[in-house]
Amino acid sequence: MDIINKFTNAFWSTHIWLPPNTTWADIAPGSRPDVVHADYRDLIWPIPLAAVVMLIRYTLERFWISPIGKSLGIRSSRPKKAANVPTLESAYAKSSHLDHKWLAPLAKQTDMTERQIERWWRLRRAQDKPSTLVKFCENTWRCIYYLYSFIFGVIVLWDKPWFWDVKSCWYGYPHQSVSNDIWWYYMISMSFYWSLTATQFFDVKRKDFWQMFIHHMVTLLLMSLSWVCNLHRVGSLVLVVHDCADIFLEAAKLTKYANYQKVCDAIFAIFTVVWIVTRLGFYPRIIYSSSVEAPRILPMFPAYYIFNSLLLMLLVLHIIWTYMILKIVVDSLQKGLMSGDIRSSDSEDLTDSSGNVRVANGSTRTKPKSGISALTAATAGGGVAQRKRGANTSNNHTGDATTAAK
């Protein structure tokens, strides 16, 4: 017990998390009559609120989004189930990718031909693939949330001085009041990420599943620490800047699923512009303020360097992702082609379980990666599929490109 107490005291040392000559008692709720400090105990509220968010999502998807998707003719059917073959199920449980070295041993164990095993494997993988309607519902829900979050964030921040002058994030720190609207903005945003963390295990499975899980947990950690350290002003700015582009990303995905290709193209064009303006325009302005202006206004402390380093790392990722997006756009314009599923991070294309194509003579050759597969293979992180090369059809100009950022 003493070890735990010593570790806790060392971790929450005021020399790390607070400016010089400031203690936790100085920023505790009620410590000053003129300031309403953030209360670390409020961080428990996003967890029950996440249950409310999940209930709202379920209600919208079940009674509104799904019927709309069906009315648009979006496929809701699932492929037929593969036959129950225990030996093959055991092998499939180990890996959904069929290693052709397994074919001969499995054929002996099951009295099936290699072709039958390959066919069973394709059917089994298709069985795990979510229907287009499921993906449409998920993206529509996210689009609705990001739209709400951005509008609510702008309304909340509109009359705040730091929304118009980033330097105001640092004036008077750490004695900065938390208004009711900022409190709700933070709590609802955190509840959304808690809900994503929980529902991720039931949503459309993605190749970057664990990267996204870590992303959500790191996001929650950073928001929690910024709340504890009373850095909610700069935190609210980062939130509203990032929500904006996500609206158009999700909108482009759902229009792709609904087969409105021209609308998808137009939305993706808007997304590209908004992404560049917000992620490489407004966000670097926040970085400039935190890196250059903040040291001139308040004394530095270790936690400042921790938070600022993470913000700078995020900026580097934005630059990389922007390069990937623009490369996709240039490639598509040069070739006039783009192909593949709208989401590189979804379950893999299940047209062939092993990623190979059987040719007429019965041999197999490696199937060239579609643009979306190449995009995923290049890099992944923070839920972002980041690269796309090549194309197969002339009707999918930007369907895959929308996966290049998120």
pLDDT tens profile 221-263: 989 999 999 999 999 999 999 999 999 999 999 999 999 988 9
pLDDT at 193: 93
Work out the average pLDDT over 16-31: 92
Residue 293: pLDDT band with limits 50, 70, 90: very high
DSSP secondary structure of 108-164: HHHT--HHHHHHHHHHHHHHHSPPHHHHHHHHHHHHHHHHHHHHHHHHHHTT-HHHH
Alpha-helical (H) ranges within 278-384 are 283-288, 294-297, 302-335, 371-378
Q: Is the peptide bond before 174 cis (omega within 30 degrees of 0)?
A: yes
Task: Tell me which residue has tokens 């971790």.
Answer: 11
Better-scored residue on pLDDT, 382 or 37: 37
pLDDT at 92: 83
Lowest-confidence segment of 18-32, 74-88, 313-327 by average pLDDT:
74-88
Cα-based distances in Å from 91 to 99, 103, 115, 168, 353: 10, 11, 16, 59, 13
Give ranges for CATH 1.10.10 in the chain: 80-128
- Identify the H or E element spanning 180: helix 180-199
Residues in CB range of 365: below 8 A, 6 or more apart: 356, 357, 359
Q: What is the CA radius of gyration of the chain?
A: 25
Residue 336: pLDDT band with limits 50, 70, 90: low
Better-scored residue on pLDDT, 317 or 367: 317
Residue 148 has pLDDT above 60, yes or no: yes
pLDDT at 208: 67
Lowest-confidence segment of 60-74, 184-198, 384-398 by average pLDDT:
384-398
For residues 37 and 45, the answer to whether their CB atoms sit within 8 Å is: no
Lowest-confidence segment of 128-132, 157-161, 393-397 by average pLDDT:
393-397
For residues 37 and 230, the answer to whether their CB atoms sit within 8 Å is: yes
- Token output for 183: 């409190």
Quick: pLDDT tens for 209-226: 777 788 888 889 989 999
The closest alpha carbon to 232, from 42, 32, 44, belongs to 42
Top-level CATH class of 80-128?
mainly alpha
pLDDT at 50: 96
Distance (Å, rounded) from C-alpha 75 to C-alpha 132?
Answer: 6
For residues 364 and 389, the answer to whether their CB atoms sit within 8 Å is: no
Average pLDDT, the chain: 81
Better-scored residue on pLDDT, 187 or 200: 187
107-116, 193-202, 268-277, 351-360 — which one is most confidently predicted on average? 268-277
Q: At what angle do helices 232-257 and 132-157 cross, to 10 degrees?
A: 150
Quick: pLDDT tens for 357-386: 333 334 444 443 333 333 333 333 333 333
For 229-261, letters b (16+ CB in 10 Å) and e give bbbbbbbbbbbbbbbbbbbbbbbbbbbbbbeee
Would you say how long the chain is, in residues? 406
Lowest-confidence segment of 59-68, 99-108, 372-381 by average pLDDT:
372-381
The single-letter DSSP state of residue 292 is I
- Token output for 81: 């189930």
pLDDT at 153: 96
**Residue 254, phi then psi, degrees to nearest 5:** -70, -35
Percent of all residues in the chain with a pLDDT value above 70, rounded to a whole number: 81
Is the torsion defined by CA of 325, 354, 250, 284 positive or negative?
Answer: negative
pLDDT at 209: 74
pLDDT at 106: 84
Residue 349: pLDDT band with limits 50, 70, 90: very low
Residue 48 has pLDDT above 90, yes or no: yes
Residue 156 has pLDDT above 90, yes or no: yes
Distance (Å, rounded) from C-alpha 248 to C-alpha 142?
Answer: 10
